[in-house]
Amino acid sequence: MNLIQLGWNSFFQGEFDGFAGGQDLIPARVARQNKHNYDVLCEKGSLSAQVSGSFSFFAESALDYPTVGDWVVVNAIDDDKAIIHKLLPRKSSFTRKAAGIETEAQVLAANIDVVFVVVGLDRDFNPRRIERYQSLIQKSGAEMVILLNKADLCSDPLACVSEIEQIAGDIPVIHLSAVCDSDFSSIGRFIETGRTVTMVGSSGTGKSTIINRLLGEDILPTSETSGAVGKGRHTTTWRELILLPSGGVVIDTPGLREIQLWADEDDLLATFDDIEDLAKQCRFRNCQHESEPGCAVLQAIEDDKLDYGRLRNYRKMKKEIRFLEARKAERLLMSKAWGKELHRFKKQKKKVKY
């Protein structure tokens, strides 16, 4: 198997060369993850792998463990088995807040070049959801492409494209029908040998159908969107790295029912730069854009130059991010306090004479 086709480049080669672990170690890429069991791809082919004992000992959080798309250093101990000794640094990652009440990050795909945000031009069409994806992808290190699928189910797809382009800035916006269109060159130009893309979006937006079209055959299971509730069914239940005939790599992901932010205010400002530019023109520096006189943001809404829904989403996401930052700070203080307590305990233990 060709490592370059898998996405290997000089960045990872440099990191691999700096790891002095023995001559029997080789690089491999994580293709699938099931808790702490992994399928990895390397020059020897596909191997089933587990992390070593020392790896688990030094791992402090879930972020320290490999995920789909990661490059790892392995020792092939059999024709189909391997031990993972090191996780190579990530060049990029698509990360969200993990589901639940814990303040932790969850890496959904690592070492990606392009994130395709797939939105259905049916009941799934929601510009506000796209804004949330923008804030997440700002710091991923990957390029973002907005893919409006199911154009065959929309009476005016070009109007939807125009609406999204107003909030997308320089982000490419593509519309198509995965089941009807025969020309996929609009997507294919982003995928070439050595590049990795991932498809993210809600269930039922057609991610698996698009990947099947790129593969040239129906390998991934697909299902229709429920007509009763307008929601898609989970046909992809795990993240998986797939080699494409074009030479590129795609990471298929399950549909995301909730997009919990793992971002900061700089990411928010980059997503809503139009609102920030308007805010500079407000009469008062601390204007909250609610009812203040001389508010340029409210005036833009009145003049139909800004969608009120966009402002409302900006406020909501800003509140979420500030709450997240407070939780992060609280967790950091607790971690420092725990570290000091552990240090004090060890110091006292040394004074005890047996």
Cα separation, 181 vs 168, in Å, equals 24
Residues 127-158 have pLDDT tens digits of 999 999 998 898 889 999 999 999 999 999 99
Cα separation, 162 vs 105, in Å, equals 33
Is the per-residue pLDDT at 228 higher than 60?
no
- Residue at 347 is within a domain: no
Nearest CA to 75 out of 36, 49, 54, 43 is that of 49
The verdict on 83 and 134 lying in the same domain is: no
- Residue at 350 is within a domain: no
Is the per-residue pLDDT at 346 higher than 90?
no
The verdict on 130 and 245 lying in the same domain is: yes
Mean pLDDT of 289-302: 94
Asked which of 206, 230, 252 is the last residue of a domain, the reply is 252
Signed CA dihedral, 52, 55, 60, 63: sign only: negative
The verdict on 161 and 234 lying in the same domain is: yes
pLDDT band at 244 (very low <50, low <70, confident <90, very high): very high
pLDDT value at residue 136: 87
pLDDT band at 46 (very low <50, low <70, confident <90, very high): very high
pLDDT value at residue 337: 57
Provide the mean pLDDT of the chain.
Answer: 85
Is the per-residue pLDDT at 194 higher than 60?
yes
pLDDT value at residue 63: 87
Q: What is the 3-state secondary structure (H, E, C) of the chain?
A: CCCCCCCCCHHHHHHHHCCCCCCCEEEEEEEEEECCEEEEEECCEEEEEEECHHHHHHCCCHHHCCCCCCEEEEEECCCCEEEEEEECCCCCEEEEECCCCCCCEEEEEECCCEEEEEEECCCCCCHHHHHHHHHHHCCCCCEEEEEEECHHHCCCHHHHHHHHHHHHCCCCEEECCCCCCCCCHHHHCCCCCCCEEEEECCCCCCHHHHHHHHHCCCCCCCCCCCCCCCCCCCCCCCCEEEECCCCCEEEECCCCCCCCCCCCHHHHHHHCHHHHHHHCCCCCCCCCCCCCCCCHHHHHHHCCCCCHHHHHHHHHHHHHHHHHHHHHHHHHHHHHHHHHHHHHHHHHHHHCCC
Mean pLDDT of 38-43: 95
Is the per-residue pLDDT at 77 higher than 60?
yes
The verdict on 48 and 146 lying in the same domain is: no
Task: Note the residue count of the chain.
Answer: 354
Q: What is the pTM of this model?
A: 0.82
HSE value, Cβ hemisphere, 13 Å, CA-based, for 84: 30
The verdict on 130 and 246 lying in the same domain is: yes
The verdict on 119 and 190 lying in the same domain is: yes
pLDDT band at 116 (very low <50, low <70, confident <90, very high): very high
The verdict on 167 and 37 lying in the same domain is: no
pLDDT value at residue 232: 45
What is the domain extent for residue 286? Answer: 265-328
pLDDT value at residue 226: 44
The verdict on 225 and 102 lying in the same domain is: yes
- Residue at 17 is within a domain: yes
Is the per-residue pLDDT at 250 higher than 90?
yes
Residue 70's CATH number: 2.40.50.140
141 backbone dihedrals φ, ψ, rounded to 5° = 90, 5
Is the per-residue pLDDT at 277 higher than 60?
yes
Cα separation, 236 vs 203, in Å, equals 9
Lowest-confidence segment of 22-26, 319-323, 350-354 by average pLDDT: 350-354
Residues 152-188 have pLDDT tens digits of 999 999 999 999 999 998 999 999 999 888 788 889 8
pLDDT value at residue 34: 87
The verdict on 152 and 32 lying in the same domain is: no
pLDDT value at residue 255: 61
Residues 305-328 have pLDDT tens digits of 999 999 999 999 989 888 877 777
- Residue at 210 is within a domain: yes
